[in-house]
Amino acid sequence: MSRPLLMIPGPIEFTDEVMATMARPTASHVDPDFIAAFGQALKDLRSVFLAGDDFQPFVLAGSGTLAMDSAVANLVEPGDRVLVIDTGYFSLRMADICRRYGAEVDLLGVPPGETVSATEVAAQLQQNAYDLVTITHVDTSTGVLTDVQGITTVAKDAGSLVIVDGVCAAAAEEMRQQAWGVDVYLTASQKAIGVPPGLALLVVSPAGMRKWRGRSAPVGSYYSDWSSWLPIMESYEGLRPSYFATPAVNLVLALSVSLQQILAEGMDAVFARHRLIGDAVKAGVSALGLGQVPTDAAHAAHTLTCPRYPDGVDGSLLGRVRAHGAILAGGLYPAIKTEYFRIGHMGAVSANDILATLGAVETSLRQSGYAAEPGIALAAAQAVLAGGE
C-alpha cells in the first residue's frame, strides 16, 4: 500500500516540484542563483498576499510561532495596549506573546466554535484606545474563519495597527493585504504556502514599518529584531549577497518554486479552489450526520474541517482512518479536545485527495460501530465538486 495521505492542518502534501527542490544539493547562501531565487521569492510573497510594492517582506528560518514573535517583538513596546480577537488556541498564544513584550492585553473572546464580529470589535474600540489589534484569520484549533476585512476596517478607523496571524489561511483564504489595510500578515511555510516546515513569513505595511522605526525602546528579541533582518531582505531583493544568520537555503529555494506555482494559478482561482474543496469536505461530513466545531457555516474555514465525534466514537477513529489511507489530526482546543478531530485540506490538495479521505472516514466510522450509509459522504462531496466545475 502506498503511504497514507497527510490530511492534517499542516504540514500538508507538497508538490513534486517542491520536493525535488528540497532534494537538491545545498548551495551557498551567497551563490548567485540562490540570491536570485531569494530575491524573486520576496517579490512573489508580496504578490501572494496582494500587498503593494512598498510593503516589506521578511523570510526567516523558523516556525509560525517565530513569525508571531517577530511581529509582536518589533511592533509592541512596553505599555502598549493590544486588543486580541480570541477565536481559539492560537489567539491565546498571540496574547501571551504580547504580554511577554510588555503589552497591556485585552481579550475579546467567544466560546469555541463562535466568531467575533466587526460590530463587536467596533464597540470595544469605542470604549478603549488600542495601539494594536490582533486577529487570527483561521484558528487551527477551532476551524473558525474571522472577518479580517471588516475588523481591520473598524480597527484602522480607530487608529490601531492590525496584525493578522494567517498561518492556517495564507494562500488559501481570501486575503488582500493592501486593499484591506492589514499592517502585518504572517504565516508559516508548511501550510497552504506549500513548503516543508521551517520558514516564518511576514509582510509589513509602510505604517507598520513606521511604528517600528519610531520605537522608543529597543526590540526585546535579538533574533527577531528587524534592524538585523531588514538589510538582509533589502540586499537579497536587490540581488546582492548579505549575511546576518544563515538562511534555510533549500527551503527558500522551495519557497520560490511554490510561490510561482501559486501565482501561476492566480490568487482569485486559488481562493475559489479552496472554497470549493472546503465546501465539499463539509458537505461530506454533514451527510455522515456529524456536527462541526464552527457554529455557523458562514464562519467555517475553507482550509480545514473540524468534525465532532458521534456518540459512541472516540479518538481511536483516527487510527482506523490512517489504516485506510489518510492521516488526520485530533482536537486541539483544550476545553473540547476529545470531542472532535481535524481534516486539513489546503495547498496542493486535490478533489481526489478529499474523496479518498472522506471514504476512509466513512469506512472507519462503520468499523467503530456508527451506522454510516456506504457512499453517502462521497456522493455529497462529489455533488459540490460537480457544481463548481
- What CATH number does residue 294 fall under? 3.90.1150.10
pLDDT digits (tens, 9 = 90+) for 168-215: 999 999 999 999 999 999 999 999 999 999 999 999 999 999 999 999
Q: What SS3 state is found at 6?
A: strand
Q: Are residues 194 and 312 in the same domain?
A: no
> If you average pLDDT over residues 142-155, what whole number do you get?
98
Looking at the predicted structure, is the pLDDT value of residue 29 above 60? yes
User: Exposure string (b/e) for 113-150, b if CB count within 10 Å is 16 or more?
Assistant: bbbbbbeebbebbeeeebbbbbbbbbbbbbbbbbbbee
Do 244 and 117 share a domain, yes or no?
A: yes
State the cell numbers at 15.
Answer: 508538490
Q: How many domains does the chain have?
A: 2
pLDDT value of position 272? 98
Asked whether residue 279 falls in the same domain as residue 260, the answer is no
The single-letter DSSP state of residue 90 is: H
pLDDT score, position 2: 78
Q: pLDDT band for position 1 (50/70/90)?
A: very low
271 and 256, same domain (yes or no): no
For all residues of the chain together, what is the average pLDDT? 97
- At 232, list the grid cell: 538582509
Sort residue 120 into left (φ over 0), alpha (ψ -120 to 50) or beta: alpha
* Mean pLDDT, residues 275-298: 98
Please tell me the pTM assigned to this model. Answer: 0.97
Q: 285 and 142: one domain?
A: no
Q: Output DSSP code: residue 169.
A: T
* DSSP code string of 249-268: HHHHHHHHHHHHHHHHH-HH
Is 358 found in the same domain as 339? yes
Residues 274, 125 within the same domain: no
Measured distance CA(49)–CA(57) in Å, rounded: 10
| Whether residue 230 sits in one domain with residue 373 | no
β-pairing, 199-204 vs 56-61, is antiparallel
Are 252 and 375 in a shared domain? no
Do residues 167 and 278 share a domain? no
- Residue where one domain finishes, among candidates 211, 230, 265: 265
Q: Is 235 in the same domain as 288?
A: no
The CATH code of the domain that includes 184 is: 3.40.640.10
Residues 375 and 230 in one domain: no
Q: Which of 241, 265, 289 is the last residue of a domain?
A: 265
**Alpha-carbon gap, residue 82 to 241, rounded angstroms:** 37
Residue 319's domain comprises 5-10+266-387
Residue 388 has pLDDT above 90, yes or no: no
Of 265, 282, 300, the last residue of a domain is: 265
d(CA 174, CA 191): 15
